[in-house]
Chains A and B, each alone.
Chain A
Amino acid sequence: MSQTHSTGQGAKSGGPANAAASGNVVKRLQSELMTLMTQPTAGISAFPAGSDMTKWNATIAGPADTPYANLTLKLTLSYPSNYPYAPPEVLFKSPIYHPNVDFAGRICLDILKPGGAGKEGAWSAVLNTQTVLLSIQSLLGEPNNASPLNGEAALLWDSDKSEFKRKVDARHLEPAEIEDDA
């Protein structure tokens, strides 16, 4: 759902200004990276994945006092050419058992959907990579069970916390294991 919106937005602002826009994206991302590096937030980190500055890898440490404590979760971020006027596309790369994350790693979070008048999403240009990752980190401890992508997980979260924890652990892979798969 969120994908269709973001494509629409991209098409609107694309065109002749695209090259300049992507130059601005790179500049913005560079400054975000600088902030992330110079003022790091514990439990969160992100870095460009390769020569393309608009594709990043991120790492979130599972928050303490949640079923995800002590787990390291990998994500990928992909920034559209009109970023920060459209949200980045964020996916979990580590397999995760969570009410708001489907089995392909897609995340249901309002700030990851395009915002503005007439839109259901809550993305805003003042948000950045750091805030997005922090929101996702807090989503781990406080799922939005009202609109689950994984109904079973939503039910278990409310009913059986220990079974939930077991399913989380069963599904989780450490980053090193993901690397081996790849």
Chain B
Amino acid sequence: MAAAVSTAYDIFASVFPPKQFTKPTPETTPQIGSFSSPGESFGGFNSPHGSGTAQDAVHLERAWSAATRYLSCSNPPDDRQDARPSREVQDAFFLLCGNAAALEKLATWCANDLDAHVRDSVLPKLNFWQHPIPLSTATEAIAETVRVLSTTQDTFLTRPFALSRLGSGALEVFYHQVRQSFLASALHSIPQQRMQKTLACAFHQCMVQSMEHNDPDICKDRGLCSCPVNLGPDLDNLYQVGLGGDLAERAFAHAMHKFLQRSAIDRTCFRLEWGTEQASVVQKLRFWVASVLVPFIENTLKKLSANPSLKLSDSDKYQFQQIAVGSLGRSRTANLFDYVKKWPDTKGALLDIKDCMASSTNEKSYICNSFVQQVSTRLLHAGASTTEILSIYTAVIYSFRLLDSRGVMLEKVSGPIRAYLRTRDDTVSIIAASFLADVDAEGNVLATDPTKVCADITIEVSRSSLEDTRDHRVTDWNDMLWTPDPIDAGPDYKASRSEDVMAYILGLFDPEDFIKEVTTVLAQHLLQATDPEYVKETRLTELFKSRLDATKLQAAEVMLKDVRDSVSLNRRINPSARFETASAELPKPKEIMAAIPEDGITAHGLYALFEYRMKPAQFTAAVNLVASKRGELYFPKRTRLPQEAVRDEPTKEGALSYKVQVLSGFFWPQMRSNDFALPQQFAEMDEAFGERFSRLGNQRKLHFRKALARVTVELELEDRRVRETDVPAWRASVINTFADHEAGTILTAEQLMTTLGMEEELVADALGFWSGKRVLFQPTPGTYAVLESLDMDTGPPQPDVQPQADAVSAMMSQDAMLRESAPMFETFIKGMLRDGGPKEIGGFMGITNMLKMVLPTFTYGDDEVKLLLNEMVTRGEVVRNGETWAVAG
């Protein structure tokens, strides 16, 4: 009961100290024998159990007096020698040691005494803690605090320390109590939170500074990083001044966290390795953490907690490695977009990320999300050109296949890019053009217009194989390499073994749209191709056949066959044709090799491609050079052929060279069909060819597309000769008109239009072209004449007019096609509205859909239909009633 009372009293007293501590008792006023109230007059101990007899009380009284006089801080000792307790004091303490209550009392008294002195002399020196400490001075603040505390501690605690040396366990405890109360009263005035933060900051600064002195070259030479870390001397005796323990450990944990997040990772030793020969730095980082950082942490904690037996467990060490690797991964992921963009020079960074991913499971989705966000802010906006996006798309495919070979991550990150690419109008045409662009021996893309061709795709196509890569997994029951889908795969994940970049690019669009666009580009390409065997185009068509639905590529095959047949047709019925070009020569072994498909070909089938050009014996010899025979089929050999000398084609002089390509109109895209008068000679040759063609006895009707013809023009002017190859026929016609007139004739555009029956657009293009070449000049604005000698033109040189793509392209633009077919579409619309009643434009049964269904050539949308309808309304053929349209009358 008494104990309980006293405990409650202690608690109360700790909040409201009731006691009035006395000054040390003056030696000269002993009041011996006041039994009535032993110790009361001094306010000393008043425990009723403490004193047995009056004699004991007197002794205690005296001892107390001596002890308090000795311990009092009013006259601090000058040095340690001075602090040595005298015999009397020693005796007094030994006496007090025998009485626990008295000793405790003395400690309390001492604490109170110290408190007063600390308030007077120490706290003013630590006043700067009352204001926030700037980060830059954190280390200094801590150092100053340590300095102040250790000197005052020296001063005030010399005597208790000297006592603890006397060899009594109780006095040692007493010393620690006194020390605790000193530190408590000194540190009590410093805000704990601020102290912890400042301490953390100081730790961090010290660690960073210590790292700065390391020489990364040493690590580089050794291939390992062993840069040491330390805290510096300032923070060594934190524990001694009471700043150790939990507070410091917490602060150190904060500092280490921050250190591992940035400074430890962001160093020369772990810098990203550029170039193609790279490896991940994750191993180096793990080694550094295990061999340098963990021992450092261990030592620091030992110091901070003054516990020399402290040891980090293996799981703690592993944890630190994980944290370091994790923060390396994060810092790499933050720049992932840049790394992907610079692929393959940044393989090292990607390998780092891959290693980091392996160490933590939720890292994957973080990387995906972060990358998607980077892409959407940095790439998927109007400022990026479609070719750029496409080339980054190919880089994304490569990079993420490296990160995750199963393609789950790729599936996730490519979604937004694919969705965005689909919204771009020019994507399909750029891809198609990229497929057909040329690559030279060094891997550079030869493109006429670099903004229309994505070089990465072109290189990819030149690399890709003709293997049939379509997915057979579901039906292939004998597939011993089958694995279940990864657990983190999305619902539209398709497991496929050999999806390459091609597959991803071809998968961007609806195959039908894609084939349509490719056909257009291929047509354009075939018309301009000079290779009489069309090796490249054949290869490409085969490639598409292996990737896409082969039956849908019928048009492409027919087009190829047309141009090939044209070559032999020209030889048979066009006597003026000359074949000095490659077709008359023996095929080079390389050509034969190119013609052998990956899945083999029979000798007969292969020879059919070359029978016009070589004898069977020659052929067999060449084939054996480039192909290996397995069973009945020939396969291409994997060896490289010696480089062949490139021969210049001999230039032709004299008689006109004339070549015709016969195309099957149904399978080719709609082509330019402008009509105009050709130069007399050409027209005669066309006629002659047409006649011979009809004599061949097939049912096909020949229709000359004059606008597609290309001519090599040589002009002999007074002072120079001008030679232009592959000039469209309309330009030749225009310049020929000048030749037909006598020298010096001045013609206007209108005159030319009427003479040649040519459209204004083409006349303007031709005049611009020849003016740009300085063959024509304008004596007065709007009139043209031949510039016979260069000094005749006094006007400023005219800019070389770049022909508009639209005017030159052999294929009709969508708009021109709509214009041309408008009457037919309008007839259909009228029929539909008359027989089917009024209709809306959109919707499943709307005009647009109906037109698409009944008329496969109709490939336009609601906007075009509306345009046509509005034109019909102005002509009074159709009336509009709200959203529905009906036939008039």
**A interface residues (Cβ-Cβ under 8 A, vs B):** 30, 33-34, 36-38, 40, 45-51, 53, 56-59, 74, 175, 179
A-B contact pairs, 29 of them (CB 8 A): A34-B855, A37-B827, A37-B828, A38-B824, A45-B834, A47-B828, A47-B832, A47-B834, A47-B835, A47-B854, A48-B832, A48-B850, A48-B853, A48-B854, A49-B836, A50-B836, A50-B850, A51-B844, A51-B845, A51-B853, A53-B853, A53-B854, A57-B835, A57-B836, A58-B835, A59-B835, A74-B835, A179-B837, A179-B838
Q: Kindly provide the distance from the CB of B839 to the nearest chain A CB, expressed in whole angstroms.
A: 10
* Given A46-B835, A47-B836, A51-B853, 7 extra CB contacts under 8 A: A47-B828, A49-B836, A50-B845, A51-B849, A53-B853, A57-B837, A175-B837
For the complex, what is the distance from the CA of A74 to the CA of B834, rounded to whole Å? Answer: 10
Please tell me which one of the listed residues A30, A38, A56 contacts residue B835 in the complex, with CB atoms under 8 A apart. A56
Q: Is the CB of B827 within 8 A of A40?
A: yes
Point out the residues of chain A lying under 8 angstroms from B98, CB to CB: none
Contact of A33 with B854 at beta-carbon distance under 8 Å, contacts A40-B827, A51-B845 already known: yes
Q: Tell whether B856 is near chain A: CB-to-CB under 8 Å.
A: yes
Point out the residues of chain B lying under 8 angstroms from A37, CB to CB: 824, 827-828, 831
Chain B residue at minimum C-beta to C-beta distance from A52: B853
Point out the residues of chain B lying under 8 angstroms from A40, CB to CB: 827
- CB 8 Å contact bits of B192-230 with A (1 = contact, 0 = none): 000000000000000000000000000000000000000
For the complex, what is the distance from the CA of A38 to the CA of B855, rounded to whole Å? Answer: 12
Point out the residues of chain B lying under 8 angstroms from A38, CB to CB: 824, 827
Point out the residues of chain A lying under 8 angstroms from B845, CB to CB: 50-51
- CB 8 Å contact bits of B836-848 with A (1 = contact, 0 = none): 1110000011000
For the complex, what is the distance from the CA of A36 to the CA of B831, rounded to whole Å? Answer: 9
Q: Is the CB of A45 within 8 A of B835?
A: yes
DSSP majority for the B interface?
A: helix
Point out the residues of chain A lying under 8 angstroms from B836, CB to CB: 47-50, 57
Chain B residue at minimum C-beta to C-beta distance from A50: B845
Point out the residues of chain A lying under 8 angstroms from B832, CB to CB: 47-48
Contact of A46 with B854 at beta-carbon distance under 8 Å, contacts A38-B824, A51-B844 already known: no
For the complex, what is the distance from the CA of A37 to the CA of B853, rounded to whole Å? Answer: 15
- List the 8 shortest-distance A-B pairs measured between CB atoms, nearest first: A47-B835, A57-B835, A47-B831, A37-B827, A47-B832, A45-B831, A59-B835, A48-B854
Q: Kindly provide the distance from the CB of A70 to the nearest chain B CB, expressed in whole angstroms.
A: 13
Q: Kindly provide the distance from the CB of B272 to the nearest chain A CB, expressed in whole angstroms.
A: 58
Q: Kindly provide the distance from the CB of A20 to the nearest chain B CB, expressed in whole angstroms.
A: 14
Point out the residues of chain A lying under 8 angstroms from B838, CB to CB: 179
Point out the residues of chain A lying under 8 angstroms from B856, CB to CB: 30
DSSP majority for the A interface?
A: mixed
- Tell me the residues in window 806-840 of chain B with beta carbons closer than 8 Å to chain A beta carbons: 824, 827-828, 831-832, 834-838
For the complex, what is the distance from the CA of A69 to the CA of B832, rounded to whole Å? Answer: 23
Q: Kindly provide the distance from the CB of A71 to the nearest chain B CB, expressed in whole angstroms.
A: 15
For the complex, what is the distance from the CA of A34 to the CA of B854, rounded to whole Å? Answer: 9
For the complex, what is the distance from the CA of A108 to the CA of B494, rounded to whole Å? Answer: 59
Q: Kindly provide the distance from the CB of B196 to the nearest chain A CB, expressed in whole angstroms.
A: 75
Chain A residue at minimum C-beta to C-beta distance from B857: A34
Contact of A46 with B831 at beta-carbon distance under 8 Å, contacts A30-B856, A51-B845 already known: yes
Q: Kindly provide the distance from the CB of A39 to the nearest chain B CB, expressed in whole angstroms.
A: 10
Q: Kindly provide the distance from the CB of B420 to the nearest chain A CB, expressed in whole angstroms.
A: 32
Q: Kindly provide the distance from the CB of A19 to the nearest chain B CB, expressed in whole angstroms.
A: 15
For the complex, what is the distance from the CA of A56 to the CA of B850, rounded to whole Å? Answer: 12
Point out the residues of chain B lying under 8 angstroms from A48, CB to CB: 832, 836, 850, 853-854
For the complex, what is the distance from the CA of A74 to the CA of B824, rounded to whole Å? Answer: 23
For the complex, what is the distance from the CA of A106 to the CA of B844, rounded to whole Å? Answer: 30
Q: Is the CB of A30 within 8 A of B854?
A: yes
- Tell me the residues in window 841-883 of chain B with beta carbons closer than 8 Å to chain A beta carbons: 844-845, 849-850, 853-856
Q: Kindly provide the distance from the CB of B844 to the nearest chain A CB, expressed in whole angstroms.
A: 7
For the complex, what is the distance from the CA of A175 to the CA of B887, rounded to whole Å? Answer: 12
Point out the residues of chain A lying under 8 angstroms from B849, CB to CB: 51
For the complex, what is the distance from the CA of A47 to the CA of B832, rounded to whole Å? Answer: 6
Point out the residues of chain A lying under 8 angstroms from B835, CB to CB: 45-47, 49, 56-59, 74
For the complex, what is the distance from the CA of A47 to the CA of B856, rounded to whole Å? Answer: 15
Q: Kindly provide the distance from the CB of B868 to the nearest chain A CB, expressed in whole angstroms.
A: 14
For the complex, what is the distance from the CA of A62 to the CA of B467, rounded to whole Å? Answer: 64
Tell me which of B828, B844, B849 has the highest count of chain A C-beta atoms within 10 A of its own C-beta: B828
Point out the residues of chain B lying under 8 angstroms from A175, CB to CB: 837
Point out the residues of chain B lying under 8 angstroms from A51, CB to CB: 844-845, 849, 853
For the complex, what is the distance from the CA of A38 to the CA of B831, rounded to whole Å? Answer: 11
Point out the residues of chain A lying under 8 angstroms from B850, CB to CB: 48, 50
Q: Kindly provide the distance from the CB of B878 to the nearest chain A CB, expressed in whole angstroms.
A: 14
Q: Kindly provide the distance from the CB of B821 to the nearest chain A CB, expressed in whole angstroms.
A: 11
For the complex, what is the distance from the CA of A37 to the CA of B825, rounded to whole Å? Answer: 9
Point out the residues of chain B lying under 8 angstroms from A53, CB to CB: 853-854
For the complex, what is the distance from the CA of A74 to the CA of B835, rounded to whole Å? Answer: 8
- Tell me the residues in window 646-690 of chain B with beta carbons closer than 8 Å to chain A beta carbons: none
Q: Kindly provide the distance from the CB of A46 to the nearest chain B CB, expressed in whole angstroms.
A: 6
Q: Kindly provide the distance from the CB of B859 to the nearest chain A CB, expressed in whole angstroms.
A: 15
Q: Kindly provide the distance from the CB of A67 to the nearest chain B CB, expressed in whole angstroms.
A: 23
Q: Is the CB of A59 within 8 A of B853?
A: no
- CB 8 Å contact bits of B548-568 with A (1 = contact, 0 = none): 000000000000000000000
Point out the residues of chain B lying under 8 angstroms from A47, CB to CB: 828, 831-832, 834-836, 854
For the complex, what is the distance from the CA of A47 to the CA of B831, rounded to whole Å? Answer: 6
Point out the residues of chain B lying under 8 angstroms from A58, CB to CB: 835
Point out the residues of chain B lying under 8 angstroms from A59, CB to CB: 834-835
Point out the residues of chain A lying under 8 angstroms from B854, CB to CB: 30, 33, 47-48, 53
Q: Kindly provide the distance from the CB of B551 to the nearest chain A CB, expressed in whole angstroms.
A: 13
Q: Kindly provide the distance from the CB of B826 to the nearest chain A CB, expressed in whole angstroms.
A: 10
For the complex, what is the distance from the CA of A38 to the CA of B827, rounded to whole Å? Answer: 8
Chain B residue at minimum C-beta to C-beta distance from A76: B835
For the complex, what is the distance from the CA of A46 to the CA of B832, rounded to whole Å? Answer: 8
Q: Kindly provide the distance from the CB of A18 to the nearest chain B CB, expressed in whole angstroms.
A: 20
Point out the residues of chain B lying under 8 angstroms from A46, CB to CB: 831, 835
